[in-house]
Structure 1
Amino acid sequence: MTNYYNFRNLSVIFVDDNRNMHMLMKSILLAMNIVNARGCYDAKSCLAKMLEDPADIVILDLSLNPENGLDLIRRIRQGERGVDAYTPILVVSGQTKLSNVVEARDAGATEFLAKPVSVGSLYDRLVWMVENPRVFIKASEFIGPDRRRAMRGYEGMERRK
Structure 2
Amino acid sequence: MTNYYNFRNLNVIFVDDNRNMHLLMRSILLAMNIVNSRGCYDAKSCIEKMHEEAPDIVISDLSPNPENGLDLIRRIRQGELGVDPYTPILVISGQTKLQNVIEARDAGATEFLAKPVSVGSLYDRLVWMIENPRVFIKASEFIGPDRRRAMRGYEGMERRK
Q: Fold-level match, TM-score > 0.5?
A: yes
Q: Counterpart amino acid of 2:94?
A: G
The Cα shift of 1:158 comes to 1.4
The Cα shift of 1:157 comes to 1.7
Equivalent residue for 1:103?
Answer: 103
State yes or no: 1:20 paired with 2:10: no
% identity of equivalent residues:
89
Q: Counterpart amino acid of 2:48?
A: A
The Cα shift of 1:119 comes to 0.3
Structure 2's unaligned 5+ residue stretches are none
State yes or no: 1:136 paired with 2:121: no
**Separation in 2, partners of 1:69, 1:14:** 11
Question: Structure 1 stretches (4+) deviating beyond 2 angstroms?
Answer: none
**Separation in 1, partners of 2:68, 2:110:** 17
Equivalent residue for 1:32?
Answer: 32
Give 3-state SS (helix, strand or coil) of 1:117's partner.
coil
Superposed counterparts of 1:79-158, under 5 Å = 79-158=79-158
The Cα shift of 1:160 comes to 3.3
The Cα shift of 1:8 comes to 0.5
Give 3-state SS (helix, strand or coil) of 2:23's partner.
helix
Equivalent residue for 1:63?
Answer: 63
Structure 1's unaligned 5+ residue stretches are none
**Separation in 1, partners of 2:150, 2:126:** 19
The Cα shift of 1:128 comes to 0.1
- After superposition, the CA RMSD in angstroms is 0.7
The two structures have a TM-score, normalised by structure 1, of 0.98
**Separation in 1, partners of 2:54, 2:62:** 21
Q: How many residues align?
A: 161
What per-residue deviation string (whole Å, max 9, x for no partner) do you get for residues 85-138 of structure 1? 000000000000000000000000000000000000000000000001110000
**Separation in 2, partners of 1:5, 1:160:** 44
The Cα shift of 1:40 comes to 0.4
**Separation in 2, partners of 1:57, 1:159:** 38
**Separation in 1, partners of 2:147, 2:48:** 27
Give 3-state SS (helix, strand or coil) of 1:48's partner.
helix
Q: Counterpart amino acid of 1:133?
A: P
Q: Counterpart amino acid of 2:79?
A: G
